[in-house]
């Protein structure tokens, strides 16, 4: 290969294996970028692809620019040293057309696809993508607007929810709702919470408690006992009956706690045990009902926030990163011809920094790739939560590649001295 670069056996394999799917687990300092750039060059030189038939995806504009510069430099070097006339001609053509190379961030790629198919995607072709800083400002603006409406619609229950999370402008509540919203969208799903339905459980356990109270009262009568102990039992059972009949959840729970069954006569131990178990089950059911009411409020707030954020972006003519992903996914799902045409335009697809991929991005990559997909990354360099990336995806694809026999590991570290590596490897934990 070009210049002073002398590939190791595993690097050479990664560069030259252009047919079929490939997964590269690359450690820090293992020459990953050099391998990706030279794989690009080899695909061009061998006639596998033209420069605009190779899709190279990375996750930052800086990394994309560095990759473009690296490819351009290696092309120039390889033209000077390659001895095969056919390869040299293909390399020269690639060098002349290098600006057509599809080396970009993943959101830039999605933007190009959507702008080229705006009508089919149902969007304005003049949309403007927004970066994460601007997106956050829009999200905060949307949340502030929907929160006021939320409190107005739900009154005290809505206000209590806000105050329960943060007494300073609901900052914590925004973080929770926004994180849930982002997680749903990164997985390609509508931001909707599953609704619990504890009413059946409450009814069952209320009936059980009623039966247990009746059974306990009858057992007390059969003993013929009287006195303070029996009076306490009756008083407790009255509180439990009042709790069952209480009109609202808070009163019901308060009376239930006040009527906690008390151990009394030894002759009715079995009935006492059932009463206590029924009391505990009903109390737990009420707590589930209380939690369900909070979840319903949260769900309403989540949906309101989602709609407010959509409306705000529409008014401003912008799309955020998740929009680009979702719209691209839907475009390909709903338009088989566009998907087929897009997939056919690439002879090779390479996804760099694969450890920072989220489920939706992986779904899209697999929609346009067949046996021409290369994934490369290092799970130890994963940016935690970067655009809701999940390193578990990397680990799952790695395992699948190892089982399928298309995995390569780049282990040599060319940045650090062997003595330093040995020291680090010897550190405990």
pLDDT band at 129 (very low <50, low <70, confident <90, very high): very high
**CB distance 389 to 355 below 8 Å:** yes
Strands 22-26 and 348-351: unpaired
Rg (CA), the chain: 32
Question: Each residue of 194-239: pLDDT tens digit?
Answer: 877 778 888 888 899 989 888 888 887 888 777 777 777 777 778 8
The residue with greater pLDDT, 411 or 105, is: 105
Contacts 24+ apart (CB under 8 A), 404-408: 404/21, 406/20, 406/21, 406/22, 406/23, 407/23, 407/24, 407/25, 408/10, 408/13, 408/14, 408/17, 408/22, 408/23, 408/24, 408/25
Sort 140 into a burial class: Cβ within 10 Å, 0-12 / 13-18 / 19+. middle
Question: Each residue of 132-185: pLDDT tens digit?
Answer: 899 999 999 999 999 999 999 999 989 888 887 765 554 588 989 999 999 999
Predicted TM-score of the model (pTM): 0.74
Question: Each residue of 51-99: pLDDT tens digit?
Answer: 999 999 998 899 999 999 999 999 999 999 998 999 999 999 999 999 9
**CB distance 237 to 216 below 8 Å:** yes
Question: Each residue of 384-416: pLDDT tens digit?
Answer: 444 556 778 889 999 999 999 999 998 766 555
Domains in the chain, CATH or no CATH each: 9-127+321-425 (3.40.50.300), 131-319 (1.10.274)
Mean pLDDT of all residues in 16-33: 86
């Amino acid at each position: 290969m070009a210049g002073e670069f002398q590939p190791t056996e595993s690097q050479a394999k990664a560069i030259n294996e252009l047919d079929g799917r490939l997964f590269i687990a690359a450690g820090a300092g293992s020459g990953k970028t050099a391998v990706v750039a030279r794989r690009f060059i080899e695909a061009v030189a061998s006639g596998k692809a033209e420069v605009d038939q190779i899709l190279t995806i990375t996750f930052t504009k800086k990394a994309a620019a560095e990759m473009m510069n690296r490819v351009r430099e290696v092309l120039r070097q390889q033209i000077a040293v390659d001895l095969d006339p056919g390869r040299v001609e293909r390399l020269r053509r690639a060098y002349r057309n290098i600006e057509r190379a599809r080396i970009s961030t993943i959101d830039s790629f999605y933007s190009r696809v959507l702008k080229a198919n705006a009508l089919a995607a149902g969007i304005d072709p003049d949309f403007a993508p927004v970066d994460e800083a601007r997106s956050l400002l829009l999200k905060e603006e949307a949340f502030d607007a929907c929160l006021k409406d939320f409190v107005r619609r739900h009154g005290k229950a809505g206000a209590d929810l806000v105050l329960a999370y943060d007494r300073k402008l609901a900052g914590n509540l925004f973080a929770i709702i926004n994180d849930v919203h982002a997680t749903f969208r990164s997985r390609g799903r509508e931001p909707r919470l599953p609704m619990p339905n504890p009413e059946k459980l409450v009814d069952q356990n209320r009936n059980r408690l009623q039966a247990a109270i009746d059974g306990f009262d009858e057992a007390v009568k059969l003993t013929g006992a009287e006195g303070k102990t029996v009076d306490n039992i009756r008083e407790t059972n009255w509180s439990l009956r009042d709790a069952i009949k209480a009109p609202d959840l808070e009163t019901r729970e308060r009376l239930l706690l006040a009527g906690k069954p008390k151990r009394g006569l030894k002759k009715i131990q079995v009935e006492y045990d059932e009463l206590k178990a029924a009391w505990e089950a009903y109390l737990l059911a009420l707590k589930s009902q209380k939690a369900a009411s909070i979840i319903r409020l949260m769900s309403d707030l989540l949906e309101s926030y989602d709609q407010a954020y959509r409306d705000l972006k529409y008014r401003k003519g912008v799309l955020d990163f998740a929009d680009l992903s979702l719209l691209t996914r839907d475009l390909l799902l709903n338009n088989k011809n566009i998907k087929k045409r897009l997939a056919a335009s690439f002879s090779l697809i390479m996804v760099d920094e694969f450890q920072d991929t989220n489920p939706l991005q992986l779904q899209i990559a697999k929609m346009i790739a067949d046996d021409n997909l290369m994934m490369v990354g290092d799970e130890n360099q994963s940016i935690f939560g970067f655009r809701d990336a999940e390193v578990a995806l990397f680990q799952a694809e790695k395992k699948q590649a190892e089982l399928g026999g298309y995995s390569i590991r780049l282990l040599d570290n060319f940045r650090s001295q062997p003595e330093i590596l040995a020291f680090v490897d010897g550190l405990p934990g």
